Amino acid sequence: MTNQMVSKVGEKVLILEREFNAPRELVFQAFSQAEHLKHWWGPRGWTLPVCNVDFRVGGVWHYCMKCEDRNQGEFYGMEAWGKGIYSEIQVPEKIVYTDYFSDSEGNIAETMPVTICTLTFIEVEGGTKVINTAEYATAEGLKQVLDMGMLQGITDTWNRLVEHLESIQKSS
């Protein structure tokens, strides 16, 4: 089982793949339940003080990532709000949602790129492979999020998911 993230960047599509040493149902729950997301969503040094998940087609996931790490300099204290609207759910195989940058009220940031995220959960020997396909309306939108450091952020985030899954499985 590989613990490394694989990324493929197309013109308007970013595909991220990683295998997790945990059963598919658990990995699916980690992506769909607030009590899991609060433990791992966001880069290292960031917390999720707000995480409201209405996990159903048409439901909304509204969250706030906050930098709590003083060593991150100008990012310390920064909040980043996001909003996802679920369009397809197949438990425990697939989640499709549209991801927006937003404010604390859930208003969408019109100047920021919109992403259609398709998460696919595949059983593999020893765990679960997650494939995250992120589609952007324009090549510029994809470039904008890559320039913001999104690849490093998602690598950190998925590393935190590995740790979260390990801690749950040890305690059960």
Residue 133 has pLDDT above 80, yes or no: yes
- Whether 19 is covered by a domain: the verdict is no
Query: Rounded CA gap, 32 and 91, in Å?
Result: 10
* pLDDT over 70 percentage in the chain: 98
Query: Rounded CA gap, 45 and 102, in Å?
Result: 21
Closest CA to 84 of 63, 99, 96, 94: 99
Q: What is the domain-level CATH number for residue 145?
A: 3.30.530.20
For residue 1, the model assigns a pLDDT of 52
Residue 2 has pLDDT above 90, yes or no: no
Estimate the share of the chain in helix, then strand, then coil, as percent rounded to the nearest 5: 30, 40, 30
Query: Rounded CA gap, 115 and 127, in Å?
Result: 27
C-alpha gyration radius of the chain = 15
- How long is the chain? 172
- Whether 142 is covered by a domain: the verdict is yes
Full-model pTM: 0.94
- Whether 6 is covered by a domain: the verdict is no
Tokens of 32: 């769909």
- Whether 4 is covered by a domain: the verdict is no
pLDDT in tens, 5-40: 888 999 999 999 999 999 999 999 999 999 999 999
Specify the residue for token string 């740790």. Answer: 163
Closest CA to 18 of 38, 42, 30, 1: 1
Domain limits at 148?
24-171
Q: Which of 17-21, 75-79, 135-139, 151-155 has the lowest mean pLDDT?
A: 151-155
> What domain count does the chain have?
1
- Whether 14 is covered by a domain: the verdict is no
Specify the residue for token string 């020893």. Answer: 126
